Amino acid sequence: MSLRLFIVDDEAPARARLRDVLSDIAVQCPHQVVGEAADAQSALDGLGALAVEQFPDIVLLDVQMPGMSGIELAALMGKQWVVVPVIIFISAFDDFALKAFEVRALDYLLKPVRAARLAEALLRVGRLHGHQQETITAVARELHATRRHFPVHELGRLLLVPVAEVIYLRAETKYVTLRTGTREYLIEESLLSIEQELASVFVRVHRNALVARAAITGVERCLDTWQVILSGTAHRLPISRRQWSIIKGLVR
């Protein structure tokens, strides 16, 4: 069973040494390094950009880093994330061990990390890995199969935006903007795939926009085009000539 690892350490030589130690125990502890970061913010960005199936089982985390410390980063993930990876701290100092376990770290290793000690920690995680994988798989199934939510990766968090709260989706250059009654989110899905999957929930009003059928309250004319009126937002979206008869039929 292969574990997915994410390394966070502000010193490049330390990250390189950790990779070397990991390669020494690869047979004993099969693994894949899915990403690295040199500080907490880069870690949040990197983790947030990973697909659900690439999300790490373990974050190997340094304690003292510029800006946000490893302890603060672990606490933030514990409070805000849907799925939290196992945290193993790796530090040159033993002063922070108590605080590390206060944020529910599984282990605290001292630099320079010995291969046997790292293998011991990873094998402990291996015993938890089955449950962790079931959790991640369940989230993926929730997101992509039953589709009651849209997954949004934002600042290192995996947010679940309920489909029922979405007023419209609009295609931009590289992303799709998802609008709820309170704010906008960016997602990396195509309008076409969403339309095909959720045709009973959303209807196309224009080549670059889908709106929630339940949110349509009327239409209004603006110059030479018609716009759809939506509950929950003051935004008006143009209706293409091709879709006009469909939208008109929904507001009769």
Q: Domain-by-domain residue ranges, the chain? A: 3-144, 149-250
Helix or strand holding residue 73 (H, E):
helix 70-80
**What is the CATH number assigned to the segment(s) 149-250?**
2.40.50.1020
Instruction: Scan for tokens 């108590």, then name that residue.
Output: 98
Residue 104 in tokens: 């529910």
Q: What confidence tens digit (pLDDT) does each residue in 130-164 have? A: 544 454 444 444 434 446 778 787 766 667 788 89
Q: Per the omega criterion (within 30 degrees of 0), is the bond before 162 cis?
A: no
Determine whether 176 is exposed, middle or buried from the number of CB atoms within 10 Å of its CB (0-12, 13-18, 19+). buried
Q: What confidence tens digit (pLDDT) does each residue in 179-223 have? A: 999 999 998 788 888 888 888 899 999 999 999 999 999 999 988
Same-fold call for 3-144 versus 149-250: no
Q: Is the pLDDT of residue 119 over 80?
A: yes
- Global pTM value: 0.54
Collapsed DSSP state (helix, strand, coil) of residue 66: coil
* Architecture (CATH level 2) of domain 3-144: 3-Layer(aba) Sandwich (3.40)
Contact 46, 6 (CB under 8 A): yes
pLDDT band, very low/low/confident/very high, at 127 (cuts 50, 70, 90):
low
Instruction: Scan for tokens 């030589």, then name that residue.
Output: 13
Cα 19 to chain centroid, rounded: 25
